[in-house]
Structure 1
Amino acid sequence: MRYLLTLHMNPALWATLTDDQKNAVYEGHGAFITLITESGEMVETKALAEPGETKTIQVKNGVAQTKTGGFVESEAFLCGYYVVDVESEERAVELAAKIPDAQYTAVEVRKVVHEG
């Protein structure tokens, strides 16, 4: 079963971390990638740009309207994800807890129900 593990960033919280804590998060991702690659559970991972570099498009009355910024007005934003292929939801949750960001913010675990 495939699961999407989403990472969310709150810039205000991130700003309170020491350089050592930030570096531990970065290094932790390297270790996590090694773990899920060696176990064969890695499908994909991506880091995403901040909302200020995002374009949100909505079509109203047949006209595309574009705005800069994310869809959801919030301090926190989706900053990256992992897709893992695991035996169970329990394993997906176990892996999500190993992502270093989970010490500071939530990691969401969502089952992939369709792939194109």
Structure 2
Amino acid sequence: MRYQILIYNNPAFDDALENGLRDELDATHGAVIRELQASGELIETNELSTEAAVVVRTDSHKRVHTTDGPFIEAKEWVGGFYLVDCASIDRAVEIAGRFVEARFSPVEVRQLVHEPS
């Protein structure tokens, strides 16, 4: 089964990175990536830019409205993701629980509905 793991960030996490958490973060993600590549569970992973981000909405007249993103009037934002193919949601949750970011903000695990074409 395929799962999307969404890693949220917030200002407290950014502050922690500036105060010495960067090495632990890099080591943890590196270890998880190597493990998932070796097991064949990793489909894709990436960090999401906060520089090139736009929030798009349409109104009842189908007009497009945009604002600078990615902050949709929230204190948390999706900072990155993992797309994994693993045996169960329990395994996906176990992977998500390893991320340093989970100490500061949510890490969301969601099963994908559609199979790849």
Partner residue in 2 for 1:57:
56
- Alignment of 1:91 with 2:59, yes or no, is no
Partner residue in 2 for 1:72:
72
Q: CA RMSD in A?
A: 1.9
Letter in 1 for 2:56: I
Partner residue in 2 for 1:10:
10
Letter in 1 for 2:34: T
Mean CA deviation greater in 98-107 or 6-15:
98-107
Letter in 1 for 2:10: N
Q: Deviations over 1:7-40 (max 9, x none)?
A: 0000233214554312211221111100111111
Structure 2 alignment gaps of length 5 or more: none
> What is the identity percentage for the equivalent residue pairs of Structure 1 and Structure 2?
34
Mean CA deviation greater in 7-16 or 84-93:
7-16
2-side partners of 1:44 and 1:20: how far apart?
27
Letter in 2 for 1:27: A
Partner residue in 2 for 1:100:
100
Distance verdict in 2 for CA 1:35–1:106, change over 3 Å: same
Letter in 1 for 2:45: T
2-side partners of 1:12 and 1:95: how far apart?
22
Mean CA deviation greater in 72-81 or 102-111:
102-111
Number of aligned positions between the proteins:
115
TM-score with structure 2 setting the length:
0.85
- Alignment of 1:45 with 2:40, yes or no, is no
